[in-house]
Amino acid sequence: MAIIGCYIRNDAVYAKIKIMLTQAGFDYERFTSENALLRVIGRRSFEIIMIDIGTSIRDAEWFFSWINCRSGDHTPVIAISAANNPEFAALALDSGADDFLYSQFEPLEAMARIRAAMRRHAPRNSGRSISLEGFTLDREASKIYDRGAAVELTPREFTMAWLFFSSPGVYISRSTIGSTIWSADGEIAGRTIEQHVYKLRKKLQLGAERGVTIRTAYSQGYRLEVAAACAGVAA
């Protein structure tokens, strides 16, 4: 299971990150200070490191000094700040951070950014695929396999499957699904989303016995739920 190192100052922000990472199938470890994090980084490896850099240059001086002096450590680093300040974000990125998140992030976007950072640092031959509970999705070929057996999906069904399987545990709104798959939102796409979800459940035989389900929440949309605690994603 991928382990993410977290130095997050604000308890409320950390609680939000904890829920997001747990739902997405990631393990994590929190550090209470920059010194505690830096002592461990040299002895252990992480898939990604998320660091709260404060809200000012003075708060982040240690971060800028450390990231500029890193040598031989290619672990992706995401800077987080409560300061929604473009100049501050640009400074963090220019100093060497792989991405920047405002602390009032949307979980779906944040997980997409985390996975994108991991993909950028993955071996070049890793491919564009997702493996989860016996399912394998090959994005390049637009194919999905259930325990090695190919499952025939339409292009839109595969896009929907990729959307769910790439963000397990995270609710995806109907408007996001509509704009991603139909390049539209609202009532037109909304009437067909439920039909496509139904067909996807049926073709992949999703349910409690399979250990993978698609749940519906009227106010939040849909999410893929995995009975097992782990979900491997490689891209």
Q: What is the pLDDT of residue 152?
A: 95
Domains of the chain (ranges, CATH numbers) = 3-121 (3.40.50.2300), 126-234 (1.10.10.10)
**200 Cα distance to chain centroid:** 22
Its pTM surpasses 0.85 = no
Cβ count within 10 A of residue 173 = 16
Give the β-pairing of 99-102 and 129-132.
unpaired
Q: Mark 143-154 as b/e (b = at least 16 C-beta within 10 Å).
A: ebebeeeebebe
Residue ranges of the chain whose pLDDT lies below 70: 1-2, 71-72, 122-127, 183-190, 228-235
* Tens-place pLDDT, residues 134-171: 999 998 888 999 999 999 999 989 989 998 998 888 88
| Bridge partner list, 164 | none
* Tens-place pLDDT, residues 214-225: 998 877 789 999
The span from the CA of 163 to the CA of 9, in Å, is 31
Q: What is the pLDDT of residue 174?
A: 82
